[in-house]
Amino acid sequence: MKVSPFKLERYFDKYEFSAPYLLSSSDCEPLLLNELLEMADENSRSEWDVLKLGYTESKGDPAFRNEISKLYTSITSDEVLVLVPQEGIFIAMNVLLEEGDHIVTTFPGYQSLYQVAEDIGCNVCKWEPDQNLKFQIQDLKDLVTDKTKLIVINFPHNPTGALISKNELDDIITIAREKGITIFSDEMYRFMEYDDKDRLPSVCDLYENAISLFGLSKTFGLPGLRMGWLTTRNKKFMQEFVNFKDYTTICNNAPGEKLGTIALQNKEKLIQRSLGIIQKNLPLLEDFANRHNKWFVWKSPKAGSIAFPELKINGTVMDFCQDLVKKKGLMLLPHDVYDFSRKHVRIGFGRKSLPEALTVFEKYLKEENI
Ligand SMILES: Cc1ncc(COP(=O)(O)O)c(C=O)c1O
């Protein structure tokens, strides 16, 4: 199978490590190694000090899988496969899908959630939100057919920060169960709901033929560890994922697993750290949106570290973003990298530098008379 270019990753590659002001990152402020190590209890700290840099267990370190299983209500450590988050999507789609299969997926979205299926030769139907960026269940129902093999959902959603309700999620599971459809649920932004009451259960806890994806990159501020996991109660899927992983990474990096264990032993602290940054930044962004509401139409997210406001500007959003990054070194993400036709930008507000970035943005707008 040949893979198509990943537009968002190629765009980030151009600017992420040269632009001084990042206003589109999806991860929360990454931790320093020492910050994380300071959270380790005595036992974990001494295990870290004598960590052997050998090959590791293919499914993941048992202690790490045990910590991961505690994030779910019904998942045992045997039902966890540790891998890189992006690898989890690639493996799952390759295992679950064949040329000609019909799938339905939330859209716009993180490209691999639909692109791998398209590259395999599947018929991909896109479940798009309405003008207010709300996903309507009826629209999903209209897309599902008797031939649908897989429903791919991503809540909290990248890039809109949208959530659905628990009842709506139950509706999706009912349809899937009735028609024998598998669900792949990307839950990378879980635990970043602004109101705890909005938090959805993990789909792998609700449905026996679901696979959930989660990891340490976003909520836990540890994207450089490259640690994520698939969870499923379906034993056949799990065995096939394990078999496939022998051709991608075989096993995980030992330091990442040990640091990941320390992170999950301190999960409450890390979640609160990320939510704290978000809750400080969101009002500043909303103020900015109010001041510029003629052309910058704010669409409130319900969870996560990103939003997808609409831009009512002359010219293309791509030109706007390119001019801004060239003149001021400030990076936004245009809707084009999402293959989405409506004029939006992705804004990230999980970084501590957001106030500074907004000041630079305001300066640009003033200079350009916008
Ligand atoms: C929804 C979603 N899924 C998966 C991933 C992949 O995570 P990672 O980059 O840590 O592999 C991302 C990263 O941006 C994402 O936003």
Q: Is the CB of 277 under 6 A from ligand 1?
A: no
5 secondary structure, DSSP code: P
In this structure, the answer to whether residues 128 and 221 fall within a common structural domain is yes
Out of 89, 105, 217, 333, give the residue to mutate to test ligand 1, the one with the largest number of ligand atoms within 8 Å of its CB: 217
Q: What pLDDT is stored for residue 89 in this prediction? A: 98
pLDDT tens figures, 155-211: 999 999 999 999 999 999 999 999 999 999 999 999 999 999 999 999 999 999 999
Q: What pLDDT is stored for residue 60 in this prediction? A: 98
Q: Which whole-number Å values give the CA distances from 50 to 54, 252, 265, 320, 346, in the listed order?
A: 12, 18, 19, 51, 42
C-alpha 345 to ligand 1 mean position (Å)? 18
Domain assignment present for 301: yes
Mean pLDDT of the chain: 97
Q: Is the CB of 262 under 6 A from ligand 1?
A: no
Domain boundary at 266, 294, 320, which? 266
Query: Is the pLDDT higher at 1 or at 327?
Result: 327
Model confidence, pTM: 0.98
pLDDT tens figures, 205-244: 999 999 999 999 999 999 999 999 999 999 999 999 999 9
CA-CA-CA-CA torsion for 20, 22, 27, 31, nearest 10 degrees? 30
What is the CATH classification number for the domain harbouring 256? 3.40.640.10
Beta bridge partners of 363: none
C-alpha 350 to ligand 1 mean position (Å)? 15
> Burial level of 201, CB count in 10 A (0-12/13-18/19+)?
middle
For 208, residues 6+ apart whose C-beta sits below 8 A from its C-beta are 233, 234
Out of 163, 184, 214, 218, give the residue to mutate to test ligand 1, the one with the largest number of ligand atoms within 8 Å of its CB: 218
pLDDT tens figures, 61-103: 999 999 999 999 999 999 999 999 999 999 999 999 999 999 9
- Domain range for 229: 38-266
Q: Is the CB of 309 under 6 A from ligand 1?
A: no
Q: What pLDDT is stored for residue 266 in this prediction? A: 98
Residue 43 has pLDDT above 90, yes or no: yes
Mean pLDDT of 132-141: 97
Domain boundary at 266, 284, 302, which? 266
Q: How many domains does the chain have?
A: 2
